[in-house]
């Protein structure tokens, strides 16, 4: 109860601050009048019924796109909240037998909406918010988690240049609607008009950011000097021993796991990269059992590639020929190295969790690997790239994307050291 009261007070204060900001605000799009995108909104009627469920914290995010989508899509409704168990409007929206509801949300059990779209008209439910927020909304509401779940692999990167996405497969809510509606109804050109106000908003925000960039950059040198000393020495003094690793799993959703006592995620790909030399090692392991519905989407490896993989024994032989006893294995988090060890894999004694390093450097939570990589992009110039050649294009699937991100994070850490050394900073020793 106290948490709900606090959240309500926070939202009220945000609304009060918005109304008292001193800027004129468009009552329709809720943007400052100089950044109003209403002139770019084109109403679009759809055979699909759209139900947009927005997390309360996204309601007053100025660069959010759910409200924008609701202005464009005539056959849509927008609801704000977290717990929908007692919501009569939502229950009515999902009760139309002529348009059965489906949920657009990625997961291990998601169906590819492009390759296998549902037959006939549907009610498309879309949850708007950050990944953590949407996960909470879906988990909190059995009504949503029980719906048939659909997802897609974006055909191109997101145009959301003003907000960091968790990874290359993530897009803004309005972009997701363009892809989903095109899959359901065809006529991509018609739904592409949804992006006109989206692009106008982005262009306006980038113009505003350019005005104030100078003020932010004044403190960049100071930030780099502080963070440099929180980077482990191994990343600068023992780069020849550093090996970056990434893994992928054949993993069923939690609802299925509950019915399979003793079930464990199954290693299906192991990839490694030595940044000092550019050497790579990649191996796909054929699943020993059934392939989970969402595995091909999540790993970005098709079923033929997975089924054509080798054995765990072959993987372990390849890995031992690549890795040295003195190497330091670097990964983002512990899940992937634990997955490898559970599959019988051998790992060197030294292991560095780059996510913990990033938190120590930033002195705060850093989000996903992709988010942290993007946050450091401005500090990574051409001369700070790692010495080894870039051979990561040979690593297929999501594991290759993760290794490229890990490579860039390590290069950024090295850039922090170089910048501090060039400035003659010597306030404290590096972390061990």
DSSP annotation string for 272-323: EEETTTTEEEEEEBPPSSPPPTTHHHHHT--HHHHHT-B-HHHHHHHHHHH-
pLDDT higher than 60, residue 84: yes
Q: What is the pLDDT of residue 73?
A: 94
- pLDDT confidence tier of residue 426, bands split at 50, 70 and 90: very low
Mean pLDDT, the chain, rounded, equals 81
| pLDDT score, position 19 | 46
According to the model, what pLDDT value does residue 428 have?
A: 34
What is the architecture, at CATH level 2, of domain 224-422? 2-Layer Sandwich (3.30)
* pLDDT for residue 233 is more than 90: no
Q: What is the DSSP string of 40-99?
A: G---B--SSEEEEEE-GGGTT-TT-SHHHHHHHBTTEEEEE-S--TT-HHHHHHT--TTS
Q: Give the separation between CA 214 and CA 195, rounded to whole angstroms.
A: 30
Contact criterion met (CB below 8 Å) for 404 and 275: no
Is 70 exceeded by the pLDDT of residue 425?
Answer: no
Could you give the residue range(s) of every CATH 3.30.420.10 domain in the chain? Answer: 224-422
Query: Residue 1 pLDDT > 80, yes or no?
Result: no
pLDDT score recorded for residue 62: 76
Q: Looking at the whole model, is its pTM more than 0.95?
A: no
Distance CA 99, CA 121 (A): 5
Interval 256-297: pLDDT, tens: 666 666 667 899 999 999 988 889 999 999 998 889 888 998
């Amino acid at each position: 109860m106290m948490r709900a009261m606090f959240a309500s007070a926070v939202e009220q204060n945000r609304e009060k601050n918005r109304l008292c900001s001193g800027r004129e605000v468009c009552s329709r799009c809720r943007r400052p009048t100089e950044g109003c995108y209403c002139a770019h909104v084109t109403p679009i009627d759809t055979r699909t019924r759209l139900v947009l469920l927005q997390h309360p914290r996204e309601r007053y995010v100025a660069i959010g796109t759910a409200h924008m989508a609701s202005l464009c899509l005539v056959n849509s409704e927008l609801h704000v909240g977290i717990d929908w168990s007692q919501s009569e409007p939502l229950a009515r929206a999902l009760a139309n037998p002529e348009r059965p509801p489906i949920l657009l949300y990625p997961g291990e059990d998601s169906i590819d909406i492009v390759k296998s779209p549902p037959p006939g008209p549907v009610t498309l439910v879309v949850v708007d918010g950050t990944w953590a927020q949407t996960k909470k909304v879906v988990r909190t509401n059995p009504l949503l988690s029980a719906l048939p779940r659909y997802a897609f692999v974006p055909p191109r990167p997101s145009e959301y240049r003003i907000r960091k996405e968790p990874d290359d497969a993530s897009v803004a809510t309005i972009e997701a609607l363009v892809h989903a509606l095109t899959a359901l109804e065809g006529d991509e050109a018609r739904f592409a008009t949804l992006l006109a106000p989206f692009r106008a908003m982005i262009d306006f925000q980038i113009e505003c950011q350019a005005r104030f960039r100078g003020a932010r950059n004044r403190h960049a040198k100071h930030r780099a000097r502080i963070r440099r000393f929180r980077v482990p020495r191994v990343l600068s003094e023992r780069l020849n021993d550093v090996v970056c690793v990434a893994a992928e799993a054949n993993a069923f959703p939690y609802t299925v796991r509950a019915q399979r006592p003793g079930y464990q995620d199954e290693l299906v790909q192991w990839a490694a990269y030595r940044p000092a030399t550019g050497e790579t090692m990649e191996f796909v392991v054929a699943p020993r059992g059934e392939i989970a519905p969402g595995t091909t989407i999540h790993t970005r490896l098709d079923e033929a590639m997975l089924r054509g993989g080798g054995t765990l024994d072959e993987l372990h032989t390849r890995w031992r020929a690549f890795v040295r006893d003195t190497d330091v294995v670097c990964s983002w988090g512990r899940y992937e190295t634990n997955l490898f060890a559970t599959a019988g894999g051998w790992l060197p004694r030294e292991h560095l969790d780059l996510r913990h390093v990033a938190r120590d450097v930033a002195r705060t939570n850093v989000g996903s690997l992709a988010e942290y990589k993007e946050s450091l992009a401005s500090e990574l110039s051409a001369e700070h790239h790692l010495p080894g050649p870039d051979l990561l294009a040979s690593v297929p699937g999501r594991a290759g994307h993760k290794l490229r991100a890990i490579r860039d994070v390590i290069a950024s850490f090295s850039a922090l050291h170089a910048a501090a050394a060039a400035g003659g900073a010597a306030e404290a020793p590096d972390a061990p």
